[in-house]
Structure 1
Amino acid sequence: MNHPAPTSTDQPAQWVLASNNKGKLAEFQRLFASAHLSVDVVPQGELGIDDAIEDGKSFIENALIKARHASRISGLPAIADDSGLCVPALGGAPGIHSARYAGEHGNDSKNNAKLIETLAPIRQADPEHPIEGLFVCVLVMVRHADDPLPLIAQGLWRGEILDAPIGDGGFGYDPLFWLPSLQTSAAQLSAVDKNDISHRGKAIRKLLTQLPSL
């Protein structure tokens, strides 16, 4: 029996992912695959799209800036996240500046070293008290660049900040992010285990529940 050739409606939808961060890309690809999402997600770099200028004052503002930027240039629906580490003892820093905390964007070793140095006086003043840390991910999906009702999801992941890195997996501040209930750092988790409990995993699962409204 002959089957008809697929029509354009049989093809998966295509979105642009507004990020060129290799660590984030790998996490998103695993999370989309595990959700069996029938969407072809293309990193913006493959479409020749440069990073947006992130001049917002919050994770939500920056995620929207990135999503609208990628959508406007590509003409495709876009998904973007803005993520970072907030330390209450530092007034929420490094916060939206997490990736460039030490001045050089994406230099994980320098960012981690600066965080350790900045927290040293606080740790010395009260060595018995753990320093709380909070990973934040705000995920935004826009159907088009001027979408007035973007889908927004937020994921939070609570832990403690170590005084020295442990583990060589993950990226960013993962080696300094300690999970007391598991007695491990985020950098020691497998990719599957991390996706199950991370801020980004939580955010994308919340976003997926909103997709039927598209």
Structure 2
Amino acid sequence: MAEWLIASNNQYKTADLIACLNRAGISAKPYTDDWPPMTFPVETTDSYADNARLKAQFLAQVTGEPVIADDSGLEVPFIGDTLGVTTKRYLHQDHQHSDNETLLLALKEAPDDQRTATMTCTLCAVSQNADPVLATGTVTGTIAQAEQGHYSTGFDKLFVLSATHQTLAELPDDTRIPLTHRGQAAVRLAQLLKSARNQ
């Protein structure tokens, strides 16, 4: 099969997802390598799977090529239901601060034992004449008091893994990727795609 196209306009997410997929044995590239930038359908659902499927099916229909899309989010019980599937939509309402700054402000009064968090990623693979294939990965940890690490960006700078007591951004890719929600989802997706091909 040809390389999968990644259905995202987020350069960081695309690069990270490609690294995760490559490690799992799936070859992928930014869709913009072959196509002009597109406007994806607005995410309006409360389902990671539905949002990922919407993006993947849109790009697959336009290009006629195999596509993988991701929908991911951060869930922090102390903040309530304001994050999760709508993480980016919620955080982007604050135009004066970065997403990480907004998150830290929301947790300013949180005791150390109430800074628990979960990151979830659902991947959807869509190809011609095949049903969509969905895979999910999750990782649990806590939110640090300040950004730490330089190996990756975004929430990785704040997300402290329970097993290592380090943020994801403090870990080089070879260590970090298998521990992330995206890395785990990529491995599961590779397994499901292999199973589907063998049926």
Partner of 2:29: 42
Tell whether 2:9 aligns with 1:20.
yes
Secondary structure of 1:13's counterpart equals coil
Q: Which of the pair has more CA radius of gyration?
A: 1
Secondary structure of 1:57's counterpart equals coil
Q: Which runs of 5+ in 2 are unaligned?
A: none
* Matched residues, number: 193
Letter in 2 for 1:67: A
Relative CO higher for 1 or 2, CA cutoff 8 Å, sep ≥ 6? Answer: 2
Return the TM-score normalized by structure 1: 0.80
Shift of residue 104 of structure 1? 6.0
Pairs within 5 Å for 1:1-214: 12-37=1-26, 39=27, 41-46=28-33, 47-52=35-40, 53-103=42-92, 110-121=98-109, 123=110, 127-144=111-128, 149-212=131-194, 213-214=196-197
* Structure 1 residue ranges (4+ consecutive) displaced by more than 4 angstroms after TM superposition: none
User: Are the structure 2 counterparts of residues 165 and 21 from structure 1 closer, same or farther at C-alpha, using a change threshold of 3 Å?
Assistant: same
Secondary structure of 1:140's counterpart equals strand
The 8 Å contact of residues 67 and 142 in structure 1, kept in 2 or not, is answered as yes
Shift of residue 102 of structure 1? 3.0
Q: Which runs of 5+ in 1 are unaligned?
A: 1-11
The 8 Å contact of residues 132 and 159 in structure 1, kept in 2 or not, is answered as yes
User: Are the structure 2 counterparts of residues 193 and 138 from structure 1 closer, same or farther at C-alpha, using a change threshold of 3 Å?
Assistant: same
RMSD, aligned CA: 2.3
Return the TM-score normalized by structure 2: 0.86
The 8 Å contact of residues 74 and 118 in structure 2, kept in 1 or not, is answered as yes
Shift of residue 31 of structure 1? 2.8
Identity among equivalent pairs (%): 30
- CA deviations over 1:25-60 (Å, ceiling 9, x no partner): 2223323333343x4x33122311414122222211
Shift of residue 72 of structure 1? 1.1
